[in-house]
Chains A and B, each alone.
Chain A
Amino acid sequence: MVSRELLKGSLKSIVLKLLAEHGRMYGYEITQKVSVLTEGQITLTYGALYPVLHKLEKEGALLTESEVVNNRNRIYYKLTKKGNETAREKIKELEDFIKTIGILLKPELGLEPCS
């Protein structure tokens, strides 16, 4: 399980990446997708996912569509034009971050992994 602390900063990028690949998705679908892709290593909780979705919507990166499914309204999220750009930037940012962290964790830098 990935700790919530580590996940927090990259949550936005993960959501944007998924939406960029799958077009429109609804909240539960996103959590399930993340769970399946990471083989249960990452589970998004309600409290983590929806604040980020709403923030992205407010920033104009996402658009919502409402559809009635089995008596209830289902809200689908998809990227806007602006959102596509944000997604690119954010994904790049996350990749760079992982690379940088990778450098920091290389043994020859003198930072020995914990025994």
Chain B
Amino acid sequence: MQLSLDQFRIIERDVQSEGITFSHLECDLLDHVCCDIEDRMRTGFSFDDAYQTVKREIGIQGLRRVQEETLLLINKNYRMMKKSMKILGTIALAGVSIAAVAKIMHWPGASLLILLSTFIVSTIFFPAVLYVWYKEVFLKKHGFIVILTFFAGFTFMYGTLFKIQHWPFANILLIIGELLTIITIIIGGITYLISKPTSKDRKGLLVIGIIGLVAFALGTLFKIQHWPGATILLLLGSILLFSVFLPIYAYHTYKGETTIKNSFIFSVFALMFIITFTFLLSIKSSQSILDAYAYRVNELHSSISTIENLIKDIPEKENSVEITQKADVLFNSITDLKNNLVNITGGTNINVNQLKIEDIKYLKHSSTNKSYTNLLEGNMQNGKAYLLYNDIQKYKSFIINGLENNPYSMDLVNENLFLPQDNPKDWIIQNFYLVPLVTSLNNLSQIQLDIRLVQQEALNNMNLALVENIQE
């Protein structure tokens, strides 16, 4: 009893899907399975029954296990490598987890641990994994793709490390890593499409998957670099990947197999991990914007101290005490408000007048934080922002009253301490509504600077008036 061509094709497809690449092992196994089935059919079984029995005897992934055992027997290094790979992988994973906790808790040694784990993963573990893959899965002629994957992963991992550590050249490394990844996906995808005999439907599906993946990778690259078009690429990539490719692929896999393969579960997990990771990385990139804000806050504060020094040099006069007192009260109340806002969002040890890079993660909180919104806006009439508006208004009218004989200074004060007339709501929205904490702090510091500027103007004006009086 010989197998018909159709029956043979069914077996061939199943055996090929196991991904046996070592030497002529696939031919051996295919022939063996066919002989086994033919023998059973000779004793009266139908093809289907015979094939089911043989399949059951081989077991799930049985053929792959044969390949693995062959590799283990032939290559002693391979066995060592597999073992050390498992150990190193576990160590690196533990290292990264501990480092992450240390980083969050501001414990010492976090950077060193991250450095060490990244080194293990990128320079030892990752190449070892690729080598094993190359031996097990890839064909010899595809060595170029393996090398490309190595360089892509290597630069990408170090780029990420440099980015996290705020070291130089992080961006260049990330760009190179991302570009290499994209090239690898494209070349690897095309080679796969050419070399594997699959149906037209499946090829189309794979093309969609590759386009989605490339768009997604480009999107993250654009996002990290703040180039325009990132959102569209990310959107296109994720729609293609998650709404088109993955469901259809999962459906096909589910339909084609009675048992879900480990490799499928693994690839879903790996995909989830990679995507969460790149997303986090893209979010992390907005840190540079926050950095700019922190820089601006610090700049404002140095301007404030310059003005305060200038004010100290102005000789004191009878009325000047009241002006300085009122300015100080308002100024300090704003400092209190800033501290209040920072405390509410969890940054207890932050000096609002001197922001540091490591403080910034507290400053990402936006006004979607409930207690933060309550504090600032309250019921509109009793929120801190509303009270602040009133205080500034009072201070402003007080200063302007003293400047009645000097329209130029009056204009200056009006310009510096600009408040929308009788409309606190606009002012509150403009300064605090739906902005991150760092922006609120920025705005408050700007107001403090304005208060000092106005104070200086008023004091100078008073001195000038006195001088003029004496001259008369």
Chain A residues in the interface with B (C-beta under 8 A): 26-28, 31-32, 46-47, 50-55, 57-58, 64, 66, 69-75
Contact = CB atoms under 8 A, between A and B. Distances in A.
**Dominant secondary structure at the B interface:** helix
A52 B27 CA distance: 16
B29 interface: yes
Contacts of B273: none
A26 B28 CA distance: 8
Nearest to B59: A47
Given A50-B29, A70-B34, 18 more contacts: A27-B32, A28-B32, A28-B36, A32-B39, A50-B25, A51-B70, A51-B73, A53-B28, A55-B70, A69-B31, A70-B3, A70-B8, A71-B8, A72-B8, A72-B30, A73-B27, A73-B31, A75-B31
Which one of B2, B12, B27, B28 has the highest number of Cβ atoms from chain A below 10 Å of its Cβ?
B28
B63 interface: yes
A75 B24 contact: yes
13 contacts: A27-B31, A32-B39, A46-B58, A47-B65, A47-B66, A51-B70, A52-B73, A54-B70, A55-B73, A64-B24, A70-B34, A71-B8, A73-B24
A58 to B, nearest CB: 5
Contacts of A75: 24, 27-28, 31
Nearest to A57: B23
**Interface size of B as a range:** 20 to 34
Contacts, number: 71
A51 B69 contact: yes
Interface of B: 2-3, 5, 8, 12, 22-25, 27-32, 34-36, 39, 58, 62-63, 65-66, 69-70, 72-74
Contacts of A31: 32
A66 B65 CA distance: 24
A71 B66 CA distance: 23
Contacts of A50: 25, 28-29, 66, 70
B69 to A, nearest CB: 5
A110 B2 CA distance: 56
A54 B32 contact: no
A46 B8 contact: no
A47 B69 contact: yes
A54 to B, nearest CB: 5
Given A54-B25, A64-B24, A72 B31 contact: yes
